[in-house]
Copies of this chain bind each other. A is one copy, B any other.
């Protein structure tokens, strides 16, 4: 993903002016790991920060087969009809390995992808979730600067990717299939409890009744959970993305969420906390990456880690030795 040398100030101005090609170029820049590009990307981000924060940031997850892309097509189309400008981003740490990045498949979301009020960007390639997450967070900021007022961040249920998306979204939406409880076990542990909004998709035809049962099951499960914040109790509803039914109800629930989260600046606090913890996790990851790539640590790590895993060496002792090797470099 080589990019020509860029003038971050000019690129920022073009993005803020709503130039789609500038936005695409900016996202390519933040996705690059080349040191020069990284520096330019940070300058670009610094320049556009005053123009960020204006979008509804909505995370969307669900097991494969739940119909995420059909839902996003229908939901995005509905929002554009209502006069919104919609950007769709994705977090998929497997894209580098599988090659098949979500949103990368051109046959998906055709309508949205070619609508001028929409901007669809595949998941960046990356070996680590942290890297993919960082680029998506930064792309989110660029989309906001470009004037998109709804940003949908899709993720597949891979490892911690839902948590990563919930940590950058205002609202985390979990799509469920109509089904008996057993099939729902594909949902990763803890994910359901991240959900501010649960949407049972494919509530049409013969599945309508099962969908209602799924809603009931979810609501009983809700009893065991503390909501993420006092201002909002998670809601559950059913829709049919295929037939465009109840899509408006999904948006109504999201609007209710934003109205509720204005109370006591709950949303502002959630975003502030997200930004703070993002900064600290960036520093933690960056330091551990530096440590991992330290030649002396590289030599010592395998043996020490093996002893720790074998229960021969306390983890704290191994950690101390590796830290001392790193700090003394």
Q: Cβ of A280 < 8 Å from any Cβ of B?
A: yes
Please give the distance in Å from A309's CB to the nearest CB on chain B. 4
B-contact 0/1 string along A217-241, CB 8 Å cutoff: 1101111111110000000000000
Q: Cβ of A264 < 8 Å from any Cβ of B?
A: no
B-contact 0/1 string along A186-204, CB 8 Å cutoff: 1111101110000000000
Q: Cβ of A288 < 8 Å from any Cβ of B?
A: yes
Q: Cβ of A323 < 8 Å from any Cβ of B?
A: yes
Q: Which residues of A contact B (CB under 8 A)?
A: 42, 45-46, 49-50, 52-53, 134, 137-138, 141, 180-182, 184-190, 192-194, 217-218, 220-228, 271-272, 275-276, 278-280, 282-284, 286-288, 290-291, 304-305, 308-320, 322-323, 326-327
Interface contact B224-A187, CB-CB below 8 Å = yes
Q: Contacts A49-B312, A185-B225, A276-B305 known; A283 to B220 CB distance under 8 Å? A: no
Please give the distance in Å from A250's CB to the nearest CB on chain B. 20
Pairs of residues from A and B, 6 with the lowest C-beta to C-beta distance, nearest first: A181-B223, A282-B319, A279-B315, A278-B315, A190-B190, A221-B221
Interface contact A288-B282, CB-CB below 8 Å = no
Please give the distance in Å from A276's CB to the nearest CB on chain B. 6
Interface contact A275-B223, CB-CB below 8 Å = no
Alpha-carbon gap, A278 to B326, bound state (A): 18
A163: nearest chain-B partner, CB-CB: B190
Alpha-carbon gap, A174 to B308, bound state (A): 28
Alpha-carbon gap, A44 to B186, bound state (A): 44
Alpha-carbon gap, A182 to B227, bound state (A): 12
Q: What are 10 A-to-B residue pairs whose CB atoms are below 8 Å? A: A42-B314, A45-B317, A134-B316, A184-B224, A185-B224, A187-B226, A279-B304, A279-B305, A279-B315, A287-B288
Alpha-carbon gap, A280 to B42, bound state (A): 28
Q: Contacts A138-B316, A193-B190, A282-B315 known; A223 to B185 CB distance under 8 Å? A: yes
